Amino acid sequence: MVQNDDENKREKTIRRTLVIIIVLSVAIRAFFAWILELGNDEVYYWTYAVYPDWSHFDHPPMVGWMIRLFSFNLQFGNELFIRMSAVLLGGLNTFMIYLIGKRINGAFAGLYAAMLYNTSVYCFVIAGVFILPDTPQLFFSLAALWFLLTALPADPVDKRAKVRMLLAGFFIGLALLSKYTAVFLWVGAGLYILFYRRRWLRTGALYFSILITLLLFSPVILWNVHNHFISFTFNSQRVSFWGNGLRPDYFFTELFGQVLYNNPVNFVIILVALVALWRKRFGKGNQQIKILLLTSLPLIFLFLFFALFRATLPHWTGPAYLSLMVVAAVWLAEKAKQTGKVILFPKAIATAAMLLLLTMILGLTEIKTGVFTSSGEKDPEKLGHNDFTLDMYGWRQFSDRFLEMYRADIRSGNIGRDAPILSYRWFPAAHLDFYVAYPNHINLLVFGDLERIHKYAWINRERKPLQLGSDAWFITPSRDFKAPQPLFGQYFETIEQPEIIKIYKGKRHVENFFVYKLRNCIKVPEDVLTVNGIGME
């Protein structure tokens, strides 16, 4: 009786702690989502919401749908609501990974998994504050992982297991609508079936589950068929390695990126847990741990292999670490049981939490004030070119100053009201779109090759085209300055000298925006989709 009372108290303490973690994490991420301006990728994915489609040049459509849903069909267009799905789904993800850990090794394993999730830079910040395709991918991947873990080990394969397998296929399909790397959930499930549960191969539920995934993913396939498989081709080129030569620098960049993105402390915890698992100190014969390993390690090792030959991005392997977090949490809980000291907040996780919080505070301080860096750059066309924090700073400031200039020129008749803003690449085009053009009903067009303008090749067709005889604006920041003459000189009669808008962090001059007026269009740039034979009816 006393033991039951102790267990009930322990369960209540764990549940209370979990609720605190969820509420506190959502509040912290909401604050950062509210105070920070959108980054390059985020404003670009916002265009997925403004111009929804069955797929897009770089990614499947889910991130755009999430932005539309959580901004109430774009009725609330500020940064917080654009990122709201990241903030709220992060709380749901915490609960789901808790349930997964709890199922494998009890409530403490679940709690440790939730803690590891919320001390991961990738989970807490990259996919939890910022709105990226990874945001919905993590949510649907965790849901799929839950059903895989509860279905695959079933012996015999009963009706309940079959239903769960169908649900796994459903959520993998939704994860694939978020990001292509979700296919590794099926890779892991397939490897587990081949190695340990071949009886699933004789079960119709497995094939129906795969069919459900394919049906959900079919709009992306059809869009690619209509657009000459451009998205599949583009993404395959990003990981091709033939003929590139061995690049150890890329490999170590990827490896250290994975360490940093997952929090160095967490990475060490995971590594130690994997060593302990290898030495059979825990998890011996546990089928669910086998599933966790097979849904994580293939993706990690594959991209480490790609990184030997070409540049990769560390967050591409981020979802794989969900499974490894659970393995580490199971090990922490098992270790605590063996020592008889079940600790609510392990020191290692507390250290990881403090490191993450300190990093976020310092990062926010640098973005807002620039107190830790000073470029010393004298060339006004290069000011801030090494300051990555300017991705998320200065756009509101620029918008206010530019609109003053824009309205004065309209009132004076110095430029026509229909003059569009022109850009040359998806960034800074998407920033100019979100902060300047779209909310003020100014036409923005992006001209260049498909590799540079991405989805804007399709967006251009939805907007009023550039007209012969019209004027236009061209805006370029000093962080990524581009002279207008090589880009647009052949299309306009004259290009005036720019007006310069200075951006400040406090009293520190950190960036310039060069605003050019392009006069009298004499030739309209070609439609890049027509040139490439893409998207033609």
- Predicted confidence at residue 241, as pLDDT, reads 61
- Predicted confidence at residue 430, as pLDDT, reads 98
- The β-bridge partners of 516 are 474
CB 97 within 8 Å of CB 326: yes
Cβ-based neighbours of 353, under 8 Å, separated by 6 or more: 115, 118, 119
Confidence of residue 243 (pLDDT cuts 50, 70, 90): low
Average pLDDT, the chain: 94
Confidence of residue 537 (pLDDT cuts 50, 70, 90): very low
Asked whether the predicted pLDDT for residue 392 surpasses 90, the reply is yes
- Predicted confidence at residue 536, as pLDDT, reads 47
- Predicted confidence at residue 378, as pLDDT, reads 83
106: left (phi over 0), alpha (psi -120 to 50) or beta: left
Confidence of residue 375 (pLDDT cuts 50, 70, 90): low
Considering only CA atoms, which of 140, 114, 158 is closest in space to residue 24? Answer: 114
Q: Which of 270-274, 306-310, 531-535 has the lowest mean pLDDT?
A: 531-535
> pLDDT above 90 covers what percent of the chain?
87
Instruction: Tell me what the mean pLDDT of segment 33-62 comes to.
Output: 97
The single-letter code of the amino acid at 156 is P
Question: CA geometry: angle at 491 spanning 487 and 492, to 5°?
Answer: 105
Considering only CA atoms, which of 419, 426, 375, 377 is closest in space to residue 515? Answer: 419
pLDDT tens string 170-225: 999 999 999 999 999 999 999 999 999 999 999 999 999 999 999 999 999 999 99
- Predicted confidence at residue 7, as pLDDT, reads 73
Cα–Cα distance measured from residue 439 to residue 355, given in angstroms and rounded to the nearest whole number: 38
Question: CA geometry: angle at 58 spanning 436 and 487, to 5°?
Answer: 55
Cα–Cα distance measured from residue 238 to residue 232, given in angstroms and rounded to the nearest whole number: 10
Q: What pTM was computed for the model?
A: 0.95
pLDDT tens string 90-146: 999 999 999 999 999 999 999 999 999 999 999 999 999 999 999 999 999 999 999
Q: Which of 14-18, 74-78, 232-236, 446-450 has the lowest mean pLDDT?
A: 232-236
Asked whether the predicted pLDDT for residue 422 surpasses 50, the reply is yes
Q: For residue 160, count other CB atoms closer than 10 A to its CB.
A: 11
Instruction: Tell me what the mean pLDDT of segment 447-459 comes to.
Output: 96
pLDDT tens string 322-343: 999 999 999 999 998 887 777 8
* Distance linking the first and last C-alpha atoms of the chain: 74
CB 248 within 8 Å of CB 75: no
Considering only CA atoms, which of 257, 236, 244, 250 is closest in space to residue 311? Answer: 250
Confidence of residue 10 (pLDDT cuts 50, 70, 90): confident
Cα–Cα distance measured from residue 260 to residue 84, given in angstroms and rounded to the nearest whole number: 25
- Predicted confidence at residue 285, as pLDDT, reads 87
Relative orientation angle of helices 264-278 and 248-261, to the nearest 10 degrees: 100
> pLDDT above 70 covers what percent of the chain?
97
**Phi and psi dihedrals of 503, rounded to 5?**
-110, 135
Instruction: Tell me what the mean pLDDT of segment 9-28 comes to.
Output: 94
Instruction: Tell me what the mean pLDDT of segment 15-37 comes to.
Output: 97
Cβ-based neighbours of 316, under 8 Å, separated by 6 or more: 181, 303
- Predicted confidence at residue 499, as pLDDT, reads 97
Instruction: Tell me what the mean pLDDT of segment 447-471 comes to.
Output: 96
